[in-house]
Structure 1
Amino acid sequence: MRPRIAGLAAAVLLSVLCLAAARDYYDILQIPRSATDAQIKRAYRKLALKMHPDKVQGNDEEKKAAAAKFADVSHAYEVLTDGEKRKVYDRYGEEGLKQMGQGGGRGGGGAQDIFSQFFGGGFGGFGFGQQEEEETPKGDNVVVMLEVTLEDLYLGKHYTITRVKSVIKPAPGKRKCNCRHKVVTQQVGPGMYQQYTTQVCEDCPNVKYVTEREQLTVSVEPGMPDGHTITFFEEGEPLIDGEQGDLLIYLRTLPHPVFERRYDGLLCNATISLLEALVGFEREIEHLDGHKVQIGTSGVTRPGEVRWFEGEGMPIFEKTKRGDLWVTFTVAFPRTITEEQRKELRRLFGEDGEWARHDEL
C-alpha cells in the first residue's frame, strides 16, 4: 500500500512542477485569455516584427536568445489560432498538447512558415510589402505613467493596476456601418452619361459605449530602463468599426536616497572622516536587494576619489550581465582644531615633503 501512495505523491508532485514550469501563451502574446482570432493575429504581427532575429543587433548569444523568443511567439500563435488546440491548452495546458500529440515545444521550423504567411519571405528576408493589408482605423492609445522604485527595476515586480475604460457592447436596433464612397455612372440622355459619388453603407447590429473597471497586471522586469514603455495591445480606446487602441504603460523611476542610476550603472556617495581618509577604514553599503558591498580600503583616500566595483550595478535588461557601481568619496574635514593639535600635526608631518608639496597651477 505504501509504495502505491508514494507513487501517487510523486505523480502529483511531477504535475505541479510541470504546471509551474509551463509557459503562458496568452502572456507571451500579451493578450487577454478572451482574445479573438483578430486580436491574436494583430498581436502576433506586432511582436513578430519586433522580435525577428534578423532585426537583432548583438553577439551570437543575444541572437540565439532572440530566435528562442521569436519561436515562442510563433508557437503561441500557432496554438491559439487553432480552435481545437486552444481548447486543449485552455483546459490542460502544455501537458494536454503533448498528450494530444502536438508537442509543447517552440514550434521548430513552423515559426518561419507563420512569418512567411504574414510578410512573405523567411528569416533571410522580410519581404515587407508583398502582402500589405488595408489599414484599419484605430482608436486612441491610452498612456499611463507608472512610478516605480529603483528596487523594483533591480529585482523586478508585478503591479496590479485598476483601469476605468470604455467598452463596446451590443445595443437594440440597427445602425449604418462600413460606409464607403462609390462612384455611380448614370445615363442622362442619348450618348450622355454623368458620374457622381454616393455613400454606400451596410446595416449592422447597433452598439453602445459602456464604462467598465478592469484590473491589469503589469510586469516590470529587472533592468528595464527609466522611460521604458510596456504595451498592452488592444487595451486602449475602442473604435466602432475599427481596431481598439493600445494601452501604453510608461515607467518613471522615483528618486532613491542612496543610489543614482546612470544607464546600467549605479552611482553613490560615501562620506568618510579625515582620519579614515588617511589611515584607511572599513565600510559597507547595503545594495538594492539587501546584499552588502565592501567599499573600505587600507590606503589613503583623496577627496572626490571614485572607486569602481565591477558587476555591482543594475541588471542589463533582457541579458544575464550587470552594470557596474561607482562610489565617490567625500572627506569630512574638522571645522576647527586646537593649538595643541596644530603643534602635533606639525610635529608629525612638518618634515614630510609629501605634506609640504604644493600643486602647480
Structure 2
Amino acid sequence: MAHRRSKVLLLSCFLSFFLIVYAGKSYYDILQLPRGASDDQIKRAYRKLALKYHPDKNQGNEEANKKFAEINNAYEVLSDGEKRDIYDKYGEDGLKQHAAGGGRGGGMNIQDIFSSFFGGGPAQEEEKILKGDDVIVELDASLEDLYMGGTMKVWRVKNVLKPAPGKRQCNCRNEVYHKQIGPGMFQQMTEQVCEQCPNVKFERESDFITVDIEKGMQDGQEVLFYEDGEPKVDGEAGDLKFRIHTAPHDRFRREGNDLHATITITLVQALVGFEKTIKHLDEHLVDISFKGITNPKEVRRFKGEGMPLHFSNKKGDLYVKFEVLFPTSLTEAQRTKIKETLG
C-alpha cells in the first residue's frame, strides 16, 4: 500500500512538473521554433525577430518593447547549451533553482545579446555567417500615404536558388591533423575537407511585393524585408530594404513633421479679411479665415495640422504663406475712391 502511494505521489509530481514546463508560451514559441531546433535555426530566428521588434524601430510602442525583451530572454536561454538542457527538462523553475545554486546564471544582458549579432562586443567571437548582398530600393511615397498610412505594390525581380543536376563541393572547412615524419616526430598539417552537396543554380523570378507605408515615416527610413535580398550559396540571403522618400505634392510641401502651403488672396481680401478653407491630405477642411489685414508673404501657423509623428499621436504644424494678388490696372474712378478711403 505504501509502495502504491509512493507511485501515485511520484506521478502527481511528474504531472505538476509537466504543466509547469509546458504551460503558457514557451521560449520556443516566442522565437517561433520547434523544440528540436538547431543552434543555427535559433540564431537566425533571433536575428529576424530582434530586428523587427528593436526599440529603435518601435519608439513609444510598449507592446513591441515587451516583445523585444521576451525575445532576448528566450534567446539567452536557448543559445546556452547548459541552460537549454535545464529548461527542456525542468522549465523556468529549474533555471531559477540552477541560478540560485550558483550555476552559470546571469549570462549576457539584452545589449550583449543584440550587439553579438549587430555590432560591438561579443560579435567578434561569433562565427561569421556568409550573407548575400543587401538590395536597397529608393521608393517615393505619396504625402497622403505618409499622412494616413498606406501600401504600395512594387514589382520585384530577384535571383532565386534552384536545384541543378550534379554535385558540388560545399561546407568546406580546414581540418588539422598530425603526420608522423620520423621516430617520435610529428608535423601538424592542415587539409581542406568539403562535403558533396546537391548542385544549385540561380534563376530569375518576379512578383509584386507589398510595402507598408507607416504614418509619419521620415525621409530615409527603411522598410525591411529580412533575407529577401541577393541569395548566397551555402549562406543566408541579404536583406531587401525600401528607403522611403516623400514624393512631390501639388498643394503641400513637407519639412520634417511640418507642412507648408501657399494661398493666394485678392487685395480686397488682404485689406478687409476673408473666409476660406483648404482641403487637407485626408480631405478634412482647415479653416484659415482671418478678419484683419494680411501682409504680402505673411506666414501663419495652424497648430496640429502638420504631419503625424511616427509611432505617436502627436502632429506637427501647418504653415500657410499668403500671396496677395494685386490688380494690374485701375480706372480714374477707382483711383479717386481709393484715395478718398485711404487718404
With structure 2 as the length reference, what TM-score do the two structures score?
Answer: 0.70
Equivalence for 1:45: 50
Structure 1 unpaired stretches of 5+: 1-27, 30-35, 75-109, 351-361
Q: What one-letter code is carried by the residue in structure 2 that aligns with 1:228?
A: Q
Residue 37 of structure 1 and its aligned partner are, at CA, apart by 4.5
Q: Does 1:302 align with 2:307?
A: no
C-alpha contact 2:58 2:64 (8 A) present in aligned 1:
no
Q: Does 1:113 align with 2:118?
A: no
Residue 347 of structure 1 and its aligned partner are, at CA, apart by 1.9
How big is each residue's C-alpha offset from its partner over 1:314-334, in whole Å with a ceiling of 9 and x where there is no partner? 111111111110101111112
How many residues are treated as equivalent by the alignment? 271
Residue 162 of structure 1 and its aligned partner are, at CA, apart by 2.8
Distance 1:346 1:146 in 2: 57
Distance 1:230 1:112 in 2: 22
Distance 1:337 1:42 in 2: 73
Q: Does 1:68 align with 2:73?
A: no
Distance 2:327 2:164 in 1: 78
Q: Does 1:147 align with 2:176?
A: no
Distance 1:41 1:133 in 2: 14
Shift in alpha-carbon separation, 1:112–1:204, aligned structure 2, 3 A: closer
Shift in alpha-carbon separation, 1:56–1:292, aligned structure 2, 3 A: closer
Distance 2:297 2:228 in 1: 50
Equivalence for 1:198: 191
Equivalence for 2:220: 227
Distance 1:223 1:147 in 2: 14
Distance 2:259 2:280 in 1: 10
Equivalence for 2:95: none
Worse-matched range after superposition: 188-197 or 167-176: 188-197
Q: Does 1:177 align with 2:182?
A: no
Q: Does 1:165 align with 2:125?
A: no
With structure 1 as the length reference, what TM-score do the two structures score?
Answer: 0.67
Q: What one-letter code is carried by the residue in structure 2 that aligns with 1:331?
A: V
C-alpha contact 2:220 2:243 (8 A) present in aligned 1:
yes
Equivalence for 1:274: 267
Structure 2 unpaired stretches of 5+: 1-29, 32-39, 81-106, 116-120
Distance 1:56 1:226 in 2: 14
C-alpha contact 1:144 1:249 (8 A) present in aligned 2:
yes
Residue 341 of structure 1 and its aligned partner are, at CA, apart by 2.4
Distance 1:57 1:230 in 2: 13
C-alpha contact 1:115 1:122 (8 A) present in aligned 2:
no
Equivalence for 1:103: none
Residue 313 of structure 1 and its aligned partner are, at CA, apart by 0.5
C-alpha contact 2:221 2:243 (8 A) present in aligned 1:
yes
Equivalence for 2:98: none
Equivalence for 2:8: none
Distance 2:296 2:155 in 1: 49
Equivalence for 1:283: 276
Residue 173 of structure 1 and its aligned partner are, at CA, apart by 2.7
Distance 1:57 1:250 in 2: 17
C-alpha contact 2:305 2:315 (8 A) present in aligned 1:
yes
C-alpha contact 1:310 1:323 (8 A) present in aligned 2:
yes
Distance 2:58 2:223 in 1: 21
Residue 112 of structure 1 and its aligned partner are, at CA, apart by 5.5
How big is each residue's C-alpha offset from its partner over 1:117-165, in whole Å with a ceiling of 9 and x where there is no partner? 4694446x64654585311011011122222211111111122223221
C-alpha contact 2:49 2:71 (8 A) present in aligned 1:
no
